[in-house]
Copies of this chain bind each other. A is one copy, B any other.
Amino acid sequence: MVGRTALPDLAFGAWISRPAHPFPFASARRPGVAPTPTSQETAMNESDSNEIVGPHRYRNAEAMLAHGERVWLRAADSGLLNIQVDHESNDRLIVRDTGHEFTLLCSCSYLGLNHHPKIIEGAVSALRKAGTTGLSIAEVRVRLNLLVELEESLRDLYGAPALPGVSCSVLTAGILPLIASGHIGGGAGGPRVMVFDRFCHFSMAYIKPICGDEALVLNCPHNDLNYLEDICKKYPRVAYVADGAYSMGGRTALEGLIDLQNRYGLFLYFDDSHALSIDGPRGEGYVRSRIEMNPLTMIVGSLAKAFGASGGVAMLGSERDFQFLYRNAGPVTWSQNMDVAAVGACLASAELHRTPELGQLQAKLQRNIDVFDQRFPTRFSGNGLPIRLIDVGDEDLAVRLSEQLYRAGYYCSAVFFPIVARGAAGVRVMLRADLAADRLDHFCDAVESSMASA
A interface residues, Cβ below 8 angstroms from B: 8, 10-14, 16, 26, 35-42, 44, 47, 49, 51-62, 65, 68-69, 72, 80-90, 93, 96, 104, 106-109, 114-115, 119-120, 123-124, 127-128, 130-138, 140-145, 148, 166-170, 173, 177-178, 180-183, 190-193, 196, 201-203, 206, 208-219, 230-231, 234-237, 302, 304-305, 308-310, 323, 327-331, 333-336, 339, 341-342, 345, 411, 413
Cβ contact within 8 Å between A138 and B213: no
Given A41-B218, A52-B191, A140-B82, check contact A135 B304 (CB 8 Å): no
* B234 adjacent to A169 (CB under 8 Å): no
Bound-state Cα–Cα, A305 to B136, Å: 6
Q: A135-B109, A143-B84, A345-B133 are in contact. Are A52 and B235 (CB under 8 A)?
A: yes
Contact of A136 among B58, B123, B166, B304 (CB under 8 A): B304
For the complex with contacts A11-B329, A12-B141, A169-B335, 7 further pairs of A-B residues with Cβ separation under 8 Å are A54-B180, A84-B145, A104-B135, A108-B136, A142-B411, A203-B331, A206-B331
Query: With A96-B145, A133-B114, A145-B85 known to touch, is A127 a contact of B72 (CB < 8 Å)?
Result: no
Task: Return chain B residues, CB-CB under 8 Å to A330.
Answer: 11, 202, 206
Complex interface: chain B residues within 8 A of A216 (CB)? 36-37, 42, 51-54
CB atoms of A93 and B133 under 8 A apart:
no
Q: Is the CB of A13 within 8 A of B138?
A: yes
Copies in the complex: 2
* Least CB distance, A215 to chain B, in whole angstroms: 5
**Closest residue on chain B to residue A108 by CB atoms:** B136
Interchain CB contact (< 8 A) of A14 among B230, B235, B334, B341? B334
Quote the shortest CB–CB distance from A430 to chain B (angstroms): 9
The answer, among B123, B329, B413, for a CB contact under 8 Å with A341, is B123
Query: Nearest Cβ in chain B — how far from A251, in angstroms?
Result: 20
Q: List, in ascending order, chain B residues with CB within 8 A of A413's CB.
A: 141
